[in-house]
Amino acid sequence: MAWKTVEGGSGYELRVFAPGPEAAEAYMSFDRLFEAWSPANGLIVRVPIREAAQEGEGGLRTSGASGPFEAEARWVPFADGCVGYDVTLELAYRGDEPADYGLTFGCGLIGSGRPDWMIPGAFYKENRFEKNLRRYPRYDYNGGDPEQMVSDAWSFRADRAALPAVFAWNDGLCGALCTDETSPLGLSGLGFRGNPEGTRIWLNFPYREEPVTFVGDPSPVAPADVTTYRFEPGQRVTLELKVYAAPADPHAYDPFVRRMYGLHAEEHSLRPWMGLAEAAELTAHGLYTWHYNEAEGILNETAAFDREFNNNVKGMGDRPHMHVGWVSGAPYAYALLAYGRRKETPAYVEAGTRVLDKIASGLSPSGVFWASWIAGKGWTAGWNPNAKWLQARTIAEATLFMTRAVAFERERGVSHPEWEKAVRSNLTFAVSHQREDGNFGSYYHCETGEVEEWDGAGGVLWIAALLEGAALLGEPSFSAAAVQAGSYYERFVKDEYIYGAPEDVHLTPTSEDAYNAVVAYVHLYEFDKRPEWLALASSAADWMMTFRWTYNLRFPRHSLLAQYDFRSRGADQASTSNQHLHNYGLFCVPEMLRLWKYTGDRYYLDRTRDHIACFLQFIAREDGDFNAYKGMVTERFYNTNCFQPKGMMLTLSHAWCIGLVLYAAQESAPYAEELGL
């Protein structure tokens, strides 16, 4: 990385270039030290760079003053192989009276091409397609209607981000700014703007949420939230931030995310409440006790923490619904069955078996599983944009774990012909509906089987199901279809924009898309050892880590998560639309651990360990623990002002959250020594 200063009429412009021979064509332009905004009169004070000089090996010092502020910034090159600068901005308030200001440190991105964006976990590219059926922040180069959550500029609180950084790309450069969740001025903020007038990224101290605030459903839009800090005469403040520049590779974020993870891992410790064996014992108890519905042979999707409330509302806190995959169903029935066999617990074996029997009996007229079963209604299509649509990911996941259940039981001399029949029917459907280019489609008509939506990567998980099914059933056509699909879905991984997995967030980039891609490409690599599959699995895992918290959030003092000292390092943002922390990354724990073994890249082990450790917290150890019952696990931990106040948690136990802990605890047990939990 290189820099140079250009003298102008009001001071210097500092230009920061990415490494490489084409660096001069694009750069980050810092035309001021910072700017301050006063809510009292709307005055914006721009503090120019009056002096700039080299300092140390490759570093520099800049300084300047304007209005009530003077400041100095020291830029020190990274010393660990990643290319960028640690910046220390020291400023003094020279006003005679206390005054409220907000500060912004930012730069322009100079170069050709319309910009792309990433705020890890919170914003990816345009973030929402115009045709998307769910409303949440969307970027549009030409502007838009903020009341519809469309704009060419956005500012967000830092606690929406898994790493408090804002990345921008043009045709010649990837540039990023990063800071801590909080500074001496309060909660920090991140922002960007891109339109025909230019491209800019910034950090706010304290945060601003503009042009509107995304607060989630049912009313996702709230007014802008602009905060300031009261400066006292003579007060001095130090702000720490990072500047990163790289060539315009879509994967250029990865070295910087890895660097920041390494730094944060030293500062932000883990604190699992228990080990893997205790977690498995508790969650098996919780899944069986609170979610297994013996009368219907299903796993209820939810169970209320407050059992008295649940009784008073005629059981409505317990949801007698079951998806066949995703938020209930086959994955968790399989985990309970496997644990029951290993621990010789007949009740668990019977429960897991009955649930899988129920799912196997639920084939739609098109030959694939129905998506969900609802008490009083029977089999339905799920939570899709159309009541007649079945979603590929839900069905593929159910098929994958039904396949695993058949194989697991076969090894123990137990046969389940109806399970095997259901597996074959689903996999045959997938192969027969695959497009010539390898695409399986994302949504199917439940009666005719016609593909109703081709867009998205919702079908990528069919790859793993087909490969495991091919091995189980001896059907080479299944593995051939999986290989063809691998070549199709690689475009989503290479574009660093994988979307379409969950039923309830139509065509949205989510952490779940990353998990499914990792699973698919690890299985492809294990099938034929082609190095490109391993590279795609690694790339998908890197993108997945942009949803994973590198640091521990500072929760409000009196919130439940603060009182229990919840450590958020290792938690994942559900999606840019569903902004809360969740544990669904446990779904791909075995594939991530094998990816670490295949690549030798310890980063994958460390960040998988973090995810497991994070969710070895908040498993109810006894009745009354965090107001839950023994073995219960919540779905949502609230990290920002979305859906619920920061520091709260959802007071419902979810079958998938318990089930994934049970699954991952068993799958990671052989790696217990390396994980060091």
DSSP 327-370: SSSHHHHHHHHHHHHHHT-HHHHHHHHHHHHHHHT-B-TTSSBP
**2-267 sits in which CATH class?**
mainly beta
Q: Is 437 helix (H, G, I), strand (E, B) or coil?
A: coil
Report pLDDT for 23: 60
User: What percent of the chain stands above pLDDT 90?
Assistant: 94
Give the DSSP H/E element, type plus range, for residue 107. strand 99-110
The position carrying tokens 């075995």 is: 590
Average pLDDT over residues 491-505: 96
Cis upstream peptide for 218 (omega within 30°)? yes
- Residue 642 scores a pLDDT above 90: yes
pLDDT of residue 310: 86
Q: Give the pLDDT score at 219.
A: 84
Count of beta carbons in the 10 Å neighbourhood of residue 650:
18
SS (H, E, C) 186-216: EECEEEEEEECCEEEEEEEECCEEEEEEECC
Which of 142, 141, 145, 156 lies closest to 214, judged by CA? 156
Residue 21's pLDDT band, with cuts at 50, 70 and 90, is low
**What are the pLDDT digits (tens) for 62-72?**
999 999 999 99
Q: What is the pLDDT of residue 312?
A: 82
Task: Give exposure, 14-42, as e/b (b: 16+ Cβ within 10 Å).
Answer: bbbbbeeeebebbbbbbbbbbbbbbeeee
Whether pLDDT at 281 is above 70: yes
By the 8 A CB rule, do 259 and 247 touch?
no
Q: What is the C-alpha to C-alpha distance for residues 5 and 16, in angstroms, rounded to an integer?
A: 9
How large is the average pLDDT for residues 399-403?
99
Residue 256: Cβ within 10 Å count: 23
- What CATH number belongs to 276-671? 1.50.10.10
Q: Report the pLDDT value the prediction gives residue 624, as an integer from 0 to 100.
A: 98
For residue 314, pLDDT over 80 is answered with: no
* 8 A C-beta contact, residue 474 and residue 541: no
Q: Which residue has the tokens 């066949």?
A: 324
CA–CA separation, 137 and 126 (whole Å): 9
Residue 9 has pLDDT above 90, yes or no: no
Quote the CA–CA distance of 428 and 475 in Å, as a whole number. Answer: 10
What are the angstrom distances between the C-alpha of 222 and each of 165, 205, 643? 23, 21, 12
Q: Phi then psi for 610, rounded to 5 degrees? A: -60, -45
Q: What is the DSSP track for 489-547?
A: HHHHHHTT--B--STTSTT-BBHHHHHHHHHHHHHHHHHH--HHHHHHHHHHHHHHGGG
Q: How many CA atoms lie within 13 A of 428 on its CB side?
A: 11
For 310-339, what is the mean pLDDT? 93
- pLDDT-derived band at 270 (thresholds 50, 70, 90) equals very high
Is the pLDDT at 524 greater than 70, yes or no?
Answer: yes
pLDDT band with cut points at 50, 70 and 90 for residue 316: confident
Q: Where are the domains positioned within the chain?
A: 2-267, 276-671
Asked if 571 contacts 637 with a C-beta cutoff of 8 angstroms, the reply is: yes
> 538-570 burial string, b = 16+ CB within 10 Å, else e?
bbbbbbbbbbbbbbbbebeeebbbeebebbbbb
DSSP per position, 142-179? T---GGGTEESEEEEEGGGSSSSEEEEE-SS-EEEEEE
In which residue are the tokens 């802008």 written? 224
Q: State mean pLDDT over 653-662.
A: 98
pLDDT in tens, 28-43: 999 999 999 998 888 8
The SS3 assignment for 575 reads strand
pLDDT band at 22 (very low <50, low <70, confident <90, very high): low
Chain-centre distance for alpha carbon 81: 26
Per-residue model confidence as pLDDT tens digits over 235-256: 999 999 999 999 999 999 999 9
Tokens of 155: 């500012």
pLDDT in tens, 356-398: 999 999 999 999 999 999 999 999 999 999 999 999 999 999 9
The helix, strand and coil proportions of the chain, stated in percent and rounded to the nearest 5, come to 35, 25, 40
- Statement: residue 313 has pLDDT above 80: no
Contacts of 345 (CB under 8 A, 6+ apart): 284, 339
> Which tens digit of pLDDT belongs to each residue from 123-140?
999 999 999 888 999 999
And the tokens for 473?
Answer: 């059933």
Instruction: Give the pair of three-digit tokens for residue 503.
Output: 């039923």
